Amino acid sequence: MAPLWPARVVALALAGLLAACANRASNTPEPAPTPTTSKPPAQAPAPEAVNPGAIALFNGTDLSGWTQRGGKAAYFVEGDAIVGETRPNQPNSFLCTQREFSDFILELEFLADPEANSGIQFRSESRPDYKNGIVHGYQAEIDTTQRAWSAGIYDEGRRAWLAPLDKNPEARGAFKQGQWNHMKIECRGARIRTWLNGIPCADLQDELTPKGFIALQVHGVGDRQTPLRVRWKNLLLTDLSARR
């Protein structure tokens, strides 16, 4: 027969056992959280073409499809760009597309030397019956001066400024000196609009010339001997005439 333990001894032994169990539980570390597999950030979808169906005005190799008019500034291909370089004692020079366009969206990039003056002609003409064939028509200005009217609209060889930017400080601040700039020109009927680096610039209603060529201008520099350069690339045009 097993000995009978006094009740007090049993109670003390049980209390000790419970205390030991509690102490062991308190020293057991928290289980590590189940690791979760983090997903990489979603990739942004590939941007669509700004204007699907646009045609390249420059083939990236030579000046096929272009005709020079006006002065004798030098035009040549360098890398992926068309370069226009001034020559002394020459009037304004223009490298003109052989095709004419009416309603369109034209997008391009340009980089101009400081002090250079240039522009993008559009809906422009050269006719024997007008000032001996002088190039005339709408021009989106490239202005490297502090005036900063780039993407304002000038009427070359005719009425001068049609849409200056003197009342559009945001547009005047869009030009990036010494960097590639993105210009957009949109012609729909009588409405002509321009943007520079995404900033709205000119918004003009004018019906004088509904159709003409595109041209890259190198402005005359008088007798200056040191050449100035303007570069243009990624000239993409979407013809809107067929969509009407």
Determine the pLDDT at residue 53: 84
Chain centroid to CA 49: how far? 13
- Cα separations (Å) of 122 from 43, 45, 51, 240? 39, 34, 18, 14
The pair of three-digit structure tokens given for residue 54, joined into one six-digit string: 């646009």
pLDDT at residue 13 is higher than 90:
no
- The pLDDT assigned to 242 comes to 72
Give the Cα separation of 117 and 108 in Å (integer): 17
CB-facing half-sphere around the CA of 194: CA atoms within 13 A: 31
The C-alpha atoms of residue 244 and residue 198 are separated, in whole angstroms, by 26
Kindly indicate the confidence band of residue 244, based on its pLDDT and cuts at 50, 70 and 90. low
In the DSSP assignment, the letter for residue 9 is H
Instruction: Please name each of the domains of the chain with its CATH number.
Output: 55-243 (2.60.120.560)
Which pTM value belongs to this model?
0.78
Work out the pLDDT band at 2, boundaries 50, 70, 90: very low
Rounded to an integer, what is the distance from CA 186 to the centroid of its chain?
14
